[in-house]
Amino acid sequence: MKAVYISEPGGPEVLELRDVPVPVPGPGEVLIDVVAAGLNRADVQQRRGFYPPPPGASEIPGLEVSGRIAGFGPDVAKPFSIGDKVVALLAGGGYAQQVAVPAGQVLRVPDGVDLVTAASLPETAATVYSNLVMTAQLQQGETVLIHGATGGIGTMAIQLARALGARVAATAGTAEKVSTATAFLGAHIGINYAEEDFPESLRRQNGGKGADVILDVVGAKYLPQNVDALADYGRLVVIGLQGGTKGALDLGLLLRKRAAVVATALRPRPVAEKGAIMDAVREAVWPLVTDGSIRPLVARTFPLDQVQDAHRYFDSGEHVGKILLVM
């Protein structure tokens, strides 16, 4: 089969298409004929040498796929049949024509979603739901601040938070993307971080109140401002490190606000935890996709042999929604 490997840390040019053996599903795993794979920030960080796969995971990048069940390893208890249309959450291996994955990380495609578009859902839905709901305990009527409004995580987070009855504020770096976040995705408050101090802008547009929950993909660069932007009893959940790993934390301000800072990563979690998250996604998120409350957004698709172009497009920051590789 064809699969993408990273020859050495670097730019998109280090991505190489190779012929490799078909994976053999182990105990509790299913084999999937991949139709499409989602491109995520973690793949770019892996390409640059900053985010190696967890121990035992495939060196092939790619954390989410859609496709059809092609085979079973021993002791698969989950009820699938050959040919079933599914999506899967992976620790790696998605940029390939076939992948073996624990059955607990596989879900049937939601009703009304085509099989290519479905590849945009598993990693983003699992990341957003596990962090906003399972970790931050976002409640109806609370204010949530979403950074990176028009990326794959941001577009999912805005829609899910709205569906949960939260008041949504979102940041983006251009007036056009801010407009997309508000007019198209439904955020109640839009903030251009390139032109505004986002904690001040949030309070000005939110009746003087900060955010009860912040979902942050930036990391250290935003840490002081995020703590400033929190409301009393607020919860800052850091899920990305685009802005570095080490920052200044004002513990005094955190104490006065009785607030919390949590950092999480989905990729290295144990299989059982990922299975529980995917079960929650099936129960809580898939109905919202089926009824149209959440619309999967695909910016562009690229054939697998144009993976370098797909990464260049991702690096440009021009996309709104997900970039997909099609087998």
Q: Is the pLDDT of residue 320 over 80?
A: yes
| Strands 322-326 and 29-39, bridge-based pairing | antiparallel
Topology of the domain comprising 2-121+269-326: Quinone Oxidoreductase; Chain A, domain 1 (3.90.180)
Q: What is the pLDDT of residue 243?
A: 87
pLDDT value of residue 159: 97
Q: What is the pLDDT of residue 210?
A: 98
Q: What is the pLDDT of residues 4-25, one digit of tens each?
A: 999 999 999 999 999 999 999 9
State whether CATH 3.60.70.12 applies to domain 125-263: no
The answer to whether the Cα torsion of 267, 273, 275, 280 is positive or negative is negative
| 78 pLDDT more than 80 | no
Q: How does strand 29-39 pair with strand 64-72?
A: antiparallel
Identify which of 73, 112, 66 has the alpha carbon closest to the alpha carbon of residue 89: 66
78-105: b or e for each residue (b if 16 or more CB lie within 10 Å)?
Answer: eebeeebebbbbbbbbbbbbbbbbbbbb
**Cα 163 off chain centre by:** 18
For the chain, the structural domain boundaries read 2-121+269-326, 125-263
DSSP secondary structure code for residue 118 in this structure: G
At residue 79 the predicted structure's pLDDT band, cuts being 50, 70 and 90, is confident
